[in-house]
Amino acid sequence: MKAMVLPRLANLAENQAPLKLVELPIPVPREGEILVQVAVCGVCHTELDEIEGRTPPERFPIILGHQIVGRVAQTGPEATRFRPQERVGLGWINSACGQCAFCLKGDENLCPEFKATGRDADGGYAQYTTVGENFAFPIPPVFTDAEAAPLLCAGAIGYRSLRLTGIKDGDHLGLVGFGASAHLVLKMVRHRYPQSQVFVFSRTPAERDFALELGAAWAGGFEAQTPVKLQRAIDTTPVWQPIITALNNLDKGGRLVINAIRKEEVDKEALLKLDYARHLWLEKEIKSVANVSRRDVAEFLELAAQIPLKPEFQEYPLEEANRALLELKERKIRGAKVLRIA
């Protein structure tokens, strides 16, 4: 099979083609696993963190990619949940132990044995991949393959972030950064919390215009002041200034959820502007969001099908994965990016 593999960590500023196209044997599904023929795989900001070592893979070479839509090509021994040719999706959660205190209360995203697709196990930048059958999800028929792929990470983690804000209908929500996840959150809020207004912070005018087109009440830059206080906010940026901006605009008792697997070091000095009285006092909260559970993915796919939530996306051939990643880093094209594989 064809695969774009990451042979070692790389700095994208110096190496614009960190992934290499190689020919590999088709993997064989083990007990309880399915072999999936990949149709499309979404491209995620987390891949940049994997390549540059902020959340490094356990081994090399590794096949990246955790927003996979494909069809069951073969079932392994004892795997009975899906039939050949059934359409399935895979997300960031690849496996968890199922037995620890976190798993037992449904917080499998916090399991110490948590394995991520495309980081700890081979992912979807390839023609085939394997996964435990209980970690694959049926894809609602309302979506095409390419429409479903970005939902599997950006959408599912966006859903979890929104859930963790504790939003109630009528609360004002700030979205700091407006990439694939945030634009799906905006659509979810418009559907589920119709009385809530959404305020979007982005450093690019194109993203701000896009936010307004999608129904945001207001859009401004990373240091802007919102016209009203925000009860809830989600930060999806890789930098630090937006945390100060969000806290500055947050209402008393408000909560900021940080949805970023790692922050970059570039503007860390922005944190020196943190003023306790202004930014944290009066019961403001900061909470991060880590990974996703199967419940998040399954509930989110159901909600997305009801709305229906169809992400804006741009397709690239598998061989152009490096270009897709660079354009993601440079924020060249709005919405999600999807590799077309079959």
Residue with tokens 């976190």: 102
Using the minimum distance from each CB to Zn ion, give the nearer residue, 96 or 246: 96
Among 39, 72, 88, 103, binds Zn ion (CB under 5 A): 103
In whole angstroms, how close is the CB of 126 to Zn ion at the nearest point? 17
216 sits near Zn ion (criterion: CB under 5 A): no
**153 binds Zn ion per the rule CB under 5 A:** yes
Nearer to Zn ion, 247 or 261 (CB): 261
Looking at beta carbons only, is 103 or 173 nearer to Zn ion? 103
Query: Is 151 within 8 Å of 140 (Cβ atoms)?
Result: no
| Min separation Cβ 114 and Zn ion, Å | 7
Tally Cβ neighbours within 10 Å of residue 217.
16
Rg (CA), the chain: 20
One character per residue 278-297, x = contact with Zn ion (rule: CB under 5 A)? --------------------
State the Cα angle at 289 between 139 and 199, rounded to 5°.
90
Among 48, 63, 72, 111, binds Zn ion (CB under 5 A): 111
Q: Report the C-alpha gap between 51 and 162 in whole angstroms.
A: 27
Nearer to Zn ion, 197 or 293 (CB): 293
Residue 1's CB is within 10 A of a number of other CB atoms, namely 16
Amino acid at residue number 226: T
- Residue pair 38/68 in contact by the 8 Å Cβ criterion: yes
Q: Least distance (Å) from Zn ion to the CB of residue 215?
A: 24
What SS3 state is found at 219? strand
Return the number of the residue (111 or 244) whose C-beta is nearest Zn ion: 111
Residue 317: CB minimum distance to Zn ion, A = 20
Identify whether the C-beta of residue 295 lies closer than 8 Å to the C-beta of residue 302: no
Distance in angstroms (rounded) separating the CA atoms of residues 39 and 43: 13
Alpha helices in the chain (DSSP H): 45-51, 101-104, 145-150, 156-165, 180-192, 205-213, 241-249, 294-306, 321-329
Of 88-96, 179-187, 278-286, 300-308, the window that binds Zn ion (rule: CB under 5 A) is 88-96
Q: Which stretch binds Zn ion (CB under 5 A): 8-16, 81-89, 101-109, 315-323?
A: 101-109
Interaction of residue 97 with Zn ion, rule CB under 5 A: yes
CB 53 within 8 A of CB 336: no
Q: According to the binding rule CB under 5 A, does residue 93 interact with Zn ion?
A: no
What is the pairing mode between strands 336-340 and 313-317?
parallel
Shortest Cβ 45–Zn ion spacing (Å): 7
Site map 18..57 versus Zn ion, x via CB under 5 A? --------------------------x-x-----------
Contact 137, 15 (CB under 8 A): no
> Applying CB under 5 A, which part among 1-9, 151-159, 164-172, 233-241 lies near Zn ion?
151-159
- Which region, judged by CB under 5 A, interacts with Zn ion, from 6-14, 97-105, 244-252, 254-262? 97-105
Would you count residue 173 as binding Zn ion (CB under 5 A)?
Answer: no
Choice between 43 and 219, CB closer to Zn ion? 43
Nearer to Zn ion, 96 or 297 (CB): 96
Neighbours of 294 (CB within 10 A): 18
Among 21, 100, 286, 333, binds Zn ion (CB under 5 A): 100
**Judging by DSSP bridges, how do beta strands 128-132 and 33-43 pair with one another?**
antiparallel
Token pair for 266 = 């570039």
The stretch among 12-20, 115-123, 153-161, 241-249 that binds Zn ion (CB under 5 A) is 153-161
Binding site for Zn ion (CB under 5 A): 44, 46, 96-97, 100, 103, 111, 153
